[in-house]
Amino acid sequence: MKNLALKTQFSPNPMAEIAAISSVLSSQQLERSDALNFIVERACSLTGASGGALALQEQGEIVCLASSGQAPPLNSRLRPESGISGECLRTGRSLLCEDTHTDARVDREVCDALGIRATAVVPLGTGTQATGLLEVFAREPHVFRNDHIGILRTLGEIAMEQVHEADDKSSSSGPSERKPPQHDFGVKDQPQHK
């Protein structure tokens, strides 16, 4: 990944930092994966998360395309029929889980295996159709608040702009040069993210 150490100082004001993030992304020619990873890293920083992930629909599956810290690995598949992440995708609603030990929407075993005690998740997409999500995770319960949802929504909009720009570039340059991975390495059999 391209080194994105910022020359500017980020403000403790989240909206000022989001403006700086947007400025960095618009001024640099980043690959889609680099831009999405940068957004996930900043989402973690702005919310105090120990990890984060961004997943989008690709070839009929929801696939983790960016991951930082304590989070599901890249290319892991999300099961939209279960868990809080699946509920976010199915309903198109932003959701908070204050404590994975007391919230019935999560798979406690999976969360414990990943060391996750709290999560905040927002849907990505246009209109009411969620085609992905941006989610942050914490090792401790009661970390996330409603204002974190607002930050994630704004970062999610920036992420979708990056995706659309990358899609526009690839469609204007002819057939896609991106090739599907040749090996799945059993990713589908790994514990699914909740």
Domains detected in the chain: 14-171 (3.30.450.40)
What is the structure's pLDDT at 23? 84
What is the structure's pLDDT at 187? 29
What is the structure's pLDDT at 4? 46
Q: Which among 174, 178, 134 has a CA at the least distance from the CA of 31?
A: 178
What is the structure's pLDDT at 12? 64
Q: What is the pLDDT of residues 52-90, one digit of tens each?
A: 999 999 888 899 999 999 998 999 998 888 889 999 999
What is the structure's pLDDT at 50? 96
- 116, 69 contact by CB (below 8 A): no
Instruction: Please tell me the least confidently modeled range out of 13-17, 37-41, 71-75, 106-110.
Output: 13-17
What is the structure's pLDDT at 19? 86
What is the structure's pLDDT at 9? 39
Q: Which among 180, 105, 162, 115 has a CA at the least distance from the CA of 143?
A: 115
More confident residue, 171 or 191: 171
Q: What is the pLDDT of residues 82-135, one digit of tens each?
A: 889 999 999 999 999 999 999 999 988 889 988 999 999 999 987 677 899 999
d(CA 54, CA 39): 9
For residue 170, name the pLDDT band (cuts at 50, 70, 90). low
Q: What is the pLDDT of residues 134-163, one digit of tens each?
A: 999 999 999 999 999 999 999 999 999 998
What is the structure's pLDDT at 127? 67
For residue 172, name the pLDDT band (cuts at 50, 70, 90). low
Burial 124-148, CB ≥16 within 10 A → b, else e? bbeeeebbbbbbbbbeebebbeeeb
What is the structure's pLDDT at 173? 57
Q: In this model, does residue 6 exceed pLDDT 50?
A: no
